[in-house]
A and B are shown apart, each in its own frame.
Chain A
Amino acid sequence: MPHIVDNPLTANQEVLENLRLELRRGCLILAVLAELRIERYGYTLRKALADRGVEIDEGTLYPLLRRLESQGLLMSEWREEDKRNKRFYHLSKEGKSVLKQLTSEWNAISQSLDKLLNGVA
């Protein structure tokens, strides 16, 4: 009787998935920082990112927000909205400066990669 495998990911797909996650990790930080130039709480932030084509699950987003706040890049406060307490995040002064530097870094990498990847896909 053939053995049925629950997770049909092949080794190659697994490597691809790991590389994809690695590639996304840094990009997500940049996307979150950019989106938090405007104050938002977690749920609306996730929706705003999704609307711009950057999907991020809650299990990744909320811990990331905490980490960025502990690094001093974000500031947050609890406020009531729609009869419920929500935690609003926005960029700190340091966060704005880091976003600026990361953006120029991103632009440089993006330009170089555009040249490198020209004709790959």
Chain B
Amino acid sequence: MTDIASNGVKSTMQGSSQASDHSEGMNYLQSIPKRVVSLYIPLGIIVTVLLFPFYWMALTAIKPDDQLLDMDKVSPFWTTAPTLKHISKLLFESNYPLWLWNTMFVAVVATVLSIIASVLAAYAIVRLRYKGAQWVGGAIFLAYLVPPSILFIPLATVVFQYGLFNTPYALILTYPTILIPFSTWLLMGYFKTIPYELEECALIDGASRWQILIQIVLPLAVPGLISAFIFCFTLCWNEFIYALTFLQSVDKKTVPVAIVNEFVDGDIYRWGSLMAGALLGSLPLVILYAFFVEHYVSAMTGAVKE
């Protein structure tokens, strides 16, 4: 029963993402040279511009210092003597592994907390439909629109009052304010697609609301949970202003803050290690993204479509 339903939910979702090539039927109306000019060339330019900074980041991270600064001997667009010096310096002679660990710890804990809170809230809003549930749903959407950059000043004093300043808990407790509105909104959309009849059957069989949530709704909402999880994780990893404001000591910082504050000095040879740091800080997210592209896209568009 559960399997059939989950397959149904999955296949409708895949169906919507694969029903894409609408123009296929009319392609014969365009000649190949025209397609090259109107499609491939503009697309090529845009994609190149979008990806060039990453190529440059990666190239700088493996270039030896002399080639970084002398652009006339070897063409700057590639390198003749790739070196792992910058990366090994980063990993073995700096606090970088510690910063990576801090970021990972904060991101995972904040994401898990937010997902638990969001699952409960989304289920209550969509399926319990208590008095005023619609208003609460609207309020959560509004909370999504409150940006961190108008909250960080009062939050800094709140964090200080609660004695959380300069601890990872300052971030673990404040990140959910960014994540919960988003993931609640996303999960509400997923829960709505689960057939109500399944829950009614379970209610008649004597299941409690809690059992229904754990044993019926959550297994069916797994794609939504994955989407919410990786998107929240990315947002946490990306977050800058709270981490910049609430953390002070070098060993507590997260990767984005640490790179901006600790690596940016007057040294002319800093570029190699700076770019290596940026590259290594992005890689975990890019790898995660590579495995879950569809979930990312549905998380991004789902929040807008609802």
B partners with A: no
Binding site for A on B (CB under 8 A): none
